Structure 1
Amino acid sequence: MSQRSQRKEEHLALAKMFFNKQKNSDFHQVHLIRPALPETKFDNQSLNTQLFNHQISMPIYVNAMTGGSEKSYQINKRLAKACAKENIPMALGSASILEKEPEQLNSFIVARNENPDGLIFANVNPDTSPESAKEIVATLQADALQIHLNTVQEAVMPEGDRNFVWLDNLKRIREELDVPIIIKEVGQGLDPATINILIKNAFTNLDLGGSGGTNFAQIENERRKHHDLAFLEDIGLSTPKALLASKIVKQKATIFASGGINNSLDIFKSLVLGANYVGLASHFLKFAFLGSNELCQEIEKIKSELIMLNALYGINHIKDARKVKYYLDTDLYTYLKQIKSMY
């Protein structure tokens, strides 16, 4: 097994090991105001949504997790099978490994084989050559491309990159492709300055990737011989903080919220705070380890709970979630006041 493939296996094992670790995602600091007289009813059609010209069953997606190893083949197969049945999008893990190890293709292409008509995102690192990115998208028959920004993970990773000059290459990749591009943070949260830079450079699909979920700084630190970079494990913006920060940016973007989202109420709160779509990774991975049927059951549960939340909070369709009123605990409220004064 190659070093890259071994690292993919280690990532899966460590993600599983850290499933039950207590993590602060800040969603408990967001409180929704529920109308006692909502004048609404349960409506099975209240979640239907469109993304990249595809009709999907609700505005959630399976976010990028894995690919490039034997174990990841089975995980991606189960994820894709569930996404096909439930009609939600799926993002593959980083396929940049295919530049050096094309023999790992099966662990990625299995998603399209299992879900021939679904919405699938490929995923690459920001150093990937435009030519390789184009080939990966074509080979995986992807409908969009996530490009992940993972400076903290690379810094902690023993064999990680040390050059974070990426913007020009992001532009070159965009020029080469004819599918939508999503710029995605990896568990540390997009800050307002970066959001502004990306939008000014015409990148308008942004996955905030906040802290509180899978912590790649924690995972990579576990892989280090002396575990000496633990201080980098808690330097990110949570998803609620990243969402609040994105609201102060004057320019418009399509916001994908992910990171530390573990239940239907977290999903609903993300939409209330301004997200257009919500991604879950580690939460779905728990069920993918069990099987695709178990994952389908969890997706169905989330769907029924979101329908219920729509009715409870007085909205007829999930797209109107941002109309729900809310208040913030002191920490989030103070953060929002200070962040507004900075930008």
Structure 2
Amino acid sequence: MSIRSKRKEEHLNLAQMFFNKSNFNSFDQLHLLRPALPEEKVDLGVLKTKMFSKSIAAPFFINAMTGGSKKSKTINQALAQIANKEQIALALGSASILTKESEQLDSFSIARNEDPDGILIANVNPETPATEVKKIITDLAVDALQIHLNTVQEIAMPEGDRDFYWLNNIKEIRQAVDLPIIIKEVGMGLDQNSIHLLKREGIDYFDVAGSGGTNFAKIENARNQHDVSYLENLGLPTVISALMAKKENVNFIVSGGIRNPLDILKALTLGGQYVGISNVFLQQFNLHGLIGLQQLIRAWKEDLAGLIAIYGKHDLASLTEIKKYYDFSLKNQIDQLI
């Protein structure tokens, strides 16, 4: 097994080790005002929407997790089968490994084989040459591209990058690629200035991926020979990052600490068009297999439709109208930053 593949599998194991679904995060500090008399009924059809010109059964999806190793091939195969059956989108983990190890292609391409007509999203790091990105897009037959930004993870990673001049290459990728491009953080949150800058460069979508879920600084600290745990709290809370994206008037995805259907609803009320879930789904798969994860996703659809009904709404577009209020500590941060 190569060093890169070994790292991929270490990340999977550590994500499982540190997983805690009950972790407190910014969604716990955001509250929605619920009408006692909603005058609506539960309808699964309310969840249907479009993503990159394709129809999907729900506005949440399986966000980027893995690829590039034997174990990750098995996971991606199962995730794609579930995405196909439940008609939701699937984003793959970083495929930049393919620029060095083309033999790992099947750990990613298996997804399109299992879900020939669904929405599939590729993921690369911001240093991947535009020519290689185009090849990855073609090889994986995807509908959109994520470019992940992960400076904190790289600094915490023993073998991580130390050169963060990424903007010019992102611009080259934007010019070379015809598909929608999503700029995605990896659990530390996108700030408003970066969103504004990349918006000017023609980026289509932003995945805020704020703090509150998987913490890659913590994962990399477990792989490091010296203590870099001080990096673990550098993240921007997901709710604040989402509000920053909304202020910039961009298309955005909310991810980072989504634990249940209520978190999904809250994310949608913030203005997110879609909601990404990674580690909760991964750990459900680890514990209960393909059937268990499919059952969870199906239950989340039903629960989300129920929540939309009790909040008195009948379509996704109207969810931003739900009145919100914040705990004082989060409101104080919002007032200072936005």
Q: What's the TM-score bracket when you normalise by the shorter of the two chains?
A: over 0.9
In 2, Cα distance between the equivalents of 1:145 and 1:44?
29
Q: Hey, what does 1:145 align to over in structure 2?
A: 145
Partner of 2:319: 321
Task: Report the counterpart of residue 234 of structure 1 in structure 2.
Answer: 233
Aligned with 2:274 (options 273, 277, 280): 277
Cα deviation, residue 279, structure 1 = 0.1
Amino acid in structure 2 at the alignment position of 1:271: L
SS of residue matched to 1:334: helix
Q: Which amino acid is 1:295 matched to? A: L
Deviations 1:46-102 (A, max 9, x none): 110001000000111110000000110111111111000000000000000000000
Summarize deviations over 1:22-51 as a string: whole Å, max 9, x none.
633211111100011111111121110001
Q: What does residue 225 of structure 1 align with?
A: 225
Note if contact 2:76-2:107 (Cα within 8 Å) is conserved in structure 1: yes
Secondary structure, aligned partner of 1:155? helix
**3-state DSSP class of the match of 1:46?**
helix
Provide structure 2 residue ranges, at least 5 long, that are not aligned to the other structure: none
What CA distance in whole angstroms lies between the structure 1 residues aligned with 2:5 and 2:90? 21
Maintained 8 Å contact 2:95/2:123: yes
State the partner residue of 2:5: 5
In structure 1, give the amino acid aligned to 2:251: T
Deviation at 1:335, TM superposition (A): 1.1
Q: Partner letter of residue 239 of structure 2?
A: P
AA at the equivalent of 1:328: Y
Aligned to 2:158: 158
1:30 aligned partner: 30
Give the C-alpha shift of residue 21 in structure 1: 7.4
Contact map agreement 1:245 1:336 (CA 8 A) in 2: no
Q: Give 1:82-231 correspondences, 5 Å limit.
A: 82-226=82-226, 228-231=227-230
CA RMSD of aligned residues (A): 1.0
Q: Report Cα offsets for 1:260-316 as digits up to 9, x if no partner.
A: 001000000011111110000001101222321111100001000111011100100
Contact 1:67 1:73 in 2 (8 A): yes
Classify the secondary structure of the residue corresponding to 2:24: coil
Asked if 2 retains the 8 angstrom alpha-carbon contact of 1:208 and 1:242, the reply is yes
Residues 243/41 of structure 1: CA separation in 2 closer, same or farther (3 Å cut) = same
CA separation in 2, counterparts of 1:33 and 1:285? 31
Q: CA deviation at 1:339?
A: 1.1
Contact preservation (8 Å) 1:25, 1:238: yes
Asked if the contact 1:198/1:204 (under 8 Å) is kept, the reply is: no
Q: CA separation in 2, counterparts of 1:47 and 1:265? A: 14
Identity %: 52
Residue aligned with 1:278, SS: strand
The residue that corresponds to 2:70 in the other structure is: 70
Classify the secondary structure of the residue corresponding to 2:146. Answer: strand
Q: Choose which of 301, 304, 319 in structure 1 pairs with 2:302.
A: 304
Could you tell me how far apart the structure 2 residues matched to 1:164 and 1:24 are?
Answer: 31
Q: Structure 1 CA distance, aligned partners of 2:99 and 2:22?
A: 36
Measure the CA separation in 1 of the matches of 2:250 and 2:189: 16
Which secondary structure state, in structure 2, belongs to the residue aligned with residue 92 of structure 1?
strand
Name the residue aligned to 2:255: 258
Instruction: Output one character per residue of 1:311-333: Cα deviation in whole Å (capped at 9) or x when no partner.
Output: 10010012221111111110111
